[in-house]
Structures are given as C-alpha cells and as structure tokens.
Structure 1
Amino acid sequence: MFLATSVVAAVPLVAAPAAFAATDDVTWTVRTASNDLGADRTNFSYALNPGAHLDDGLVVANRGTEAVELDVYAADGYTTSTGAVDLRLAAEEPVGVGKWIVVPQHHVSVPAGQTVEVPFTIDIPADATPGDYAGGVVTSLTVADQTANVNVDRRLGIRAGIRVGGDLAPALALDDVGVDWDGGAVPFLFGDATVHYRLHNAGNVSLTADDTDAVAGPFGWGEVDATPGDAAPILLPGESWQRAVRVPAVAAMGMIWASVTASPTVTDASGSTTVLDPVVGSAMGWAVPWPLLVVLLLAIGAAVLGPRWVRTRRRRRQDAEDARVAEAVARSLAENAVPTAAAGRSS
C-alpha cells in the first residue's frame, strides 16, 4: 500500500493510498524491489521468527525534470482516528518495525527520469514477542512554503507488516459498554438510545470485528436492533476503536438493556480469514419519560386530592351557609325581641 501525504509543521501524517501523488512538490514514486521475495508486491509483508534476518529493498523513481533529494527511514505504524493505517513521523522514536528495519542509506539523490534502489535489512530481536507488527519505509522531502512561512514534509512510503512466529493468541474485548436514552422527539412514547463501547484488540494478532447492537426493555420487551454505520478498521494488537451506535425508536420503558455482539475476524499469513467466536457485552440504562411522569403525577394528584378538595369546598360552602342562616335567625330574633320588652313595661 502506497502512502502519499503533506505534513505542515507538527501536523500528524494522514495516510492516503496512491501510486503517484497529485501535487507539484511530489515528483517521485516508490515501489517494492523485485527480488527473491517477489515482484510487483503492493507492500512489504513478512512472516519471520525471533532472531531472523532478511534483506529487501525499496525502488524510488523520479518522474520530474530535476533531481530530487530524499530522506529515507523506517517508522512504526498505527491506526488513526479515521481507521486508516498511518506511519509515525521521523522525529518519533520507533520501538517495533521502525526499529527492526534498518535503512543504511538515510539520504538518496535520484536524477531526473532515473530510478534508484534503496536496500534495507530486517533483524527480528531474539526475544521478540509473537504476533503482528506494523510499520513501513518512508521517503521524505521537506520544502519551504514561503506563503505560510512553514516547512512542508512530503512523504511517500510503503507499508511493512511483520508477523513474528510463535504462539498466536487473537482476542477481542468489549470495554466500557454503556447506554443512554435521550427521550426523542415524542417524549411520551419513544426515544433514541445510544450504545457506547470500545472494541479492544486484547490479543497479539491484528483483527477486525463485525458488531451489532440491540436495546430492549425488561424481559426483552420491545427489542430494537442496529448496526454501526461503518465497518471497524483492522486493529493492531493493543489498539482500540470507540463506538457510539444510535438505536432509534426505543420505547420509554423505565429501564433498558443494551447488548453488543462482536465477531472478530483474523487474517492469516496466506490471506485466509477466520471468524472467531463472538464476544458479548451488556449494560443497563434508564429510559424514563419524564414529561409523561409529570402528567401521570398530576393525574394521580388530581384523582387523590380532587375529591378531598371538592369535599372541603362543599363543607366550607355548607359551613358558610349555616353561619349565614344562623346569623339571619339571630338577627331576626333580636329584632323581634325589642317590641316585646317595650310592651311589658307599658302594662
């Protein structure tokens, strides 16, 4: 796999496959050398045991009209946040493939229209741990961008994958599984759930995974399935890939359970793939329809307190009526008592 890129100052390298870079600053191409290891290889791929030694080479072709001066070095590989395989910058100290591949010729001058083969060696440490390692061989040209007042690093490289022999133990783990429910556009009925988790390569072999997600209520009621919108990349040993999968139209059932099923796939040295036993993870979350609860609480409050309020209001009205009648009777008696007292005095 060829890599073409532009790096400005400390911006990380972003790998993009290309046989030739479409830019005025990159006038050269790279390819694998033709030797006993093969001809027209698309990348460097090796299966070596600890302590092994190997010789190989990189061919640089100058398509421009002027000689090109290039730095050449080996670098470790890693998976970027976009899922692409990238190579570390020259300033980063290699610890794996970038250290095992030694390029004696650190600088090469390629005349216009000519090709130059750059040999390199591979030495696997005797105590190397079995498993998969990624890296590559890079050619680099640093040019000054007068407009932006920065140095721009143009790089072309070829990936190198090394599988060190020994006990291979592929393993996939699901870490930090969780689920959230947002209430959705119709809060009284349904909402969208989001299942969070990390696909973690816990073994020593590169792998990818097909993962599916499901969210259900108690006893599996209302289960809704979903799949991620994009496939998981190939993860090197120790790497992780963060997922946030949207599961639409999950009913508001108070409590919900999310389950994740991931089937890891491993590719062997011959290119054959093997699907391993699936890994399952789960988590519990809340799907509480708060607006509906408020309405229910108001309804319950009205059902419980309403009759009491009516009875109290009726009693108050009755008490007020009784008081009014008593006052009227008392007033009437008082009015009738005055003439009687006067008549008694006259007699």
Structure 2
Amino acid sequence: MRSLARLLPALLVAAALAVGGAAAPAVAAGEGDVTWGVRTAANDNGADRQNFAYRIEPGKQISDALVVSNHAATPLELDVYAADGFTTTSGQLDLVTQDTDSVAVGAWTSLQSGRVTIAPGTSVEVPFTVSVPADATPGDYAGGLLTSLPHTTQEDGISVDRRLGIRMHVRVDGELAPAIAVEKMHVDYSGTFNPFGSGSATVSYTVHNTGNVRLSAGQTVTLAGPFGWFPVDTGEVAAVPELLPGESWTVAVPVDGVVPAFWLTAKAALSPKLPTVTGSTPGVDGVAAEAGALAVPWSLVVLVLLIAAAVVAAVIVLRRRRKVAAAREDERVKKAVEEALREAEAEPVA
C-alpha cells in the first residue's frame, strides 16, 4: 500500500462551498483532514500512473479502475463520481462540483458504484468505463474521478466538501488542429508629475486556445518608444498555463521606468508547448501581436509651454520698452530741434 505522502502529487485539491451554494475560497486537505488516499489501478492500461490518460476513437470505450485506500482506524464511506475539468484563475486544473452537470469526460465516465465502504486499513477498486460518443469532436478533454464524504462538514459557518481525486485526460482521435491566438492587446501608460521622470505602463492581452488540443505557452513581452528607442526591460513573463481547447488566459505585464517618448509599442511573442501524448500530434507555430499607445510627458509639455510663454512675454515686454524708449528719444530730439529753431529766430540780424 502506498503512503498518502506519495499520492498527494497526483491528487486534486478539495474545493470549499459556502453555505447556500455561494463559492468560497479553495482549501487544501491538510494532515488530519483526509483519512483516505486514491491512486490508479495497475492493469493493462499501465502501472504507477500519475493520472488517467487515454486515446479513444469516437464510438469506442475503455475500462479501468480507481483504487481507494482507508488510512483510518474506522470504516469509511465515500461518494465516487466523475466530473469535467477546467483551468482555474491560478492556472491549475480543477473539477466541477458534484451538483454541476458534466458534458464531456464526466458524462462519458460510468462507475460501477457511486458509493463505496472501505474497511480500516484496506483498499478497494472502483471499476469504471469511459465511453466516447460516436459524434464526439476530435481533440483533448479533461476531467477526473473524485471521492468525497457523503456529508459536508461545518467550519466557521462554512460548509466544507473535502474531495480527493485523480485527473483524467482523454484525447478523442480524429483531425487535430492545435492553435493559439493573442487577443485584445493594449497598453496603458501612467505618467509622473516629475517633468524629467519616467512613468509606468501595463501591457495586457488575452491568450486564447483556439484549437482542439490542450497546450501551454512560453511568452516574452517587449516595450519601446518610436523606432525602437528607449527600450524597457519587462523582466521575465510567467508562462501561460496549460489551457484546454476553448479556454482563455488573461495576461497583464506591469513595466516601470518607461520613458514618455510620445508613442509606445508593445510586442508579445508566444511559443506554444504541446503535451506528450502517445501518437502523432501536429506542430503549432508561435504567434506574435503588438499594440501601441500614446505616452505624452504632460508635465514636461506644460513646463515647456510655460517657458515658451515666459520667453514670448519677455520678448513682447522688451519690444514695448524699446518702442517706448525710441518714442521718447524721438520726442526729445524733436523738442531740441524746435528749441534750437526758436533761439535762432530770436537772435538780431547784423
């Protein structure tokens, strides 16, 4: 019998449901919380498997078994059921709750028994069959088998459903078309009050698995001013987690030290990574996208305008002063001439 510690890497984390059906934060099953373990059975499908993984033709089926072990000193009764999978906002695969209808793996999986009773210190096998409909669309699907206590427990006013399970990946044979896209890319720039300082920006976009094969992707993001001037180090960008067909992942990359060079151009490049699955899988090319945004140094613009206004005002004042001074000098010369003429007229003729 394997120890629970060895099994934990293959287990799916339990989800907590708030009273009344509202979702509560996910909780992990700690020591003392769960007294049972699950593993894949050793049979013609393999031994020492970390999860269930199958390639099945439409209209075909495959049989396997889940092993449930009771580590407690008392008998244990558990519900056993299959459920569809989905990628959480933290990038992990999770399974829908028992009261949620499954439409793929969870619906295709039939268990010989939906509830088992396990004697202390023993294990039981729960046989199941995965039957793929004849009209199933080719591609990858995810789900899993879950075990849980028939009744939830109360903790601090919250109804907690502790579940342990093993994920299941099903590839339905047929034409495979892996594809990925970058959508809704944009750049948001935020300036600074320091006219000679740098600002910050956020490059955001959505990665969409538009094909029918699950995949992840490495990614790089660059940000620079016009003509590639003033490039900014965006740092290492976390990889996109494995997404199921049709799923999306939101990416937001904060960037500091951005020179407001009036225009910014952001570029994103993704390198898709496909899972290792028995049989051939078509390759998929990387994708790239770019977006631009204004990055106006408003504080510097205002400062320049103020300086320009001051220079213009100084020039106007100087011109006015010169004009007034010239007018005064003309008036003085005119008076001097007039005075000289009067003195000349007053002198007697010899």
Residues 258-337 of structure 1 mapped to structure 2, 5 A cutoff? 258-270=266-278, 276-312=284-320
Does 1:85 find its partner at 2:97? Answer: no
Amino acid at match of 2:230: G
Residues 222-261 of structure 1 mapped to structure 2, 5 A cutoff? 222-261=230-269
Amino acid at match of 2:296: V
Q: Which residue of 2 aligns with 1:33?
A: 41
Q: Which residue of 1 aligns with 2:130?
A: 122
Encode CA deviations 1:268-319: one digit per residue, 9 max, x unaligned.
4139998732211111101111100001111121222321133335656888
The Cα of 1:92 is off from its aligned counterpart by 0.8
Amino acid at match of 1:11: A
Encode CA deviations 1:226-255: one digit per residue, 9 max, x unaligned.
244422210111111111112332221101
Counterpart among 66, 70, 75 of residue 62 in structure 1: 70
Q: Which residue of 2 aligns with 1:330?
A: none
Amino acid at match of 1:163: R
| Distance across 2 between alignment mates of 1:170 and 1:136 | 23
Q: Which residue of 2 aligns with 1:52?
A: 60
Counterpart among 94, 108, 133 of residue 100 in structure 1: 108
Encode CA deviations 1:78-116: one digit per residue, 9 max, x unaligned.
110001110110111101111111123111111111111
Which secondary structure does the structure 1 equivalent of 2:251 belong to? strand
Counterpart among 157, 160, 163 of residue 168 in structure 2: 160
Cα distance, 1:227–1:192 mapped onto 2, change above 3 Å: same
Q: Which residue of 2 aligns with 1:3?
A: 12
CA contact (8 A) 1:264 1:275 kept: no
| Distance across 2 between alignment mates of 1:93 and 1:13 | 21
Which secondary structure does the structure 1 equivalent of 2:136 belong to? coil
Encode CA deviations 1:165-219: one digit per residue, 9 max, x unaligned.
1111010100011112212585524222211111111100011111111112222
The Cα of 1:321 is off from its aligned counterpart by 11
| Distance across 1 between alignment mates of 2:254 and 2:281 | 29
CA contact (8 A) 1:33 1:59 kept: yes
Scaled by the length of structure 1, what TM-score is found?
A: 0.84
User: For structure 1, which segment, 262-271 or 41-50, has the greater mean C-alpha deviation from structure 2 after superposition?
Assistant: 262-271
CA contact (8 A) 2:219 2:238 kept: no
CA contact (8 A) 2:193 2:299 kept: no
| Distance across 2 between alignment mates of 1:304 and 1:148 | 72
Q: Which residue of 2 aligns with 1:334?
A: none
CA contact (8 A) 1:14 1:86 kept: no
| Distance across 2 between alignment mates of 1:6 and 1:243 | 25
Residues 200-215 of structure 1 mapped to structure 2, 5 A cutoff? 200-215=208-223
Cα distance, 1:312–1:174 mapped onto 2, change above 3 Å: same
| Distance across 2 between alignment mates of 1:276 and 1:15 | 36
| Distance across 2 between alignment mates of 1:37 and 1:135 | 18
Does 1:144 find its partner at 2:129? Answer: no
Which secondary structure does the structure 2 equivalent of 1:121 belong to? strand
Cα distance, 1:12–1:72 mapped onto 2, change above 3 Å: farther
CA contact (8 A) 1:173 1:201 kept: yes
| Distance across 2 between alignment mates of 1:15 and 1:47 | 32
CA contact (8 A) 1:62 1:110 kept: yes
Encode CA deviations 1:46-81: one digit per residue, 9 max, x unaligned.
011111111111010000011111111100001100
The Cα of 1:267 is off from its aligned counterpart by 2.0
The Cα of 1:225 is off from its aligned counterpart by 4.3
CA contact (8 A) 2:78 2:115 kept: yes
* Number of aligned positions between the proteins: 321
Cα distance, 1:229–1:180 mapped onto 2, change above 3 Å: same
CA contact (8 A) 1:13 1:88 kept: no
Amino acid at match of 2:262: G
| Distance across 2 between alignment mates of 1:309 and 1:22 | 80
Q: Which residue of 1 aligns with 2:198?
A: 190
| Distance across 2 between alignment mates of 1:262 and 1:54 | 36
| Distance across 2 between alignment mates of 1:179 and 1:203 | 27
CA contact (8 A) 1:130 1:163 kept: yes
Cα distance, 1:36–1:13 mapped onto 2, change above 3 Å: farther
Runs (5+) with no aligned partner, structure 1:
326-347
| Distance across 2 between alignment mates of 1:97 and 1:227 | 39
Cα distance, 1:6–1:172 mapped onto 2, change above 3 Å: closer
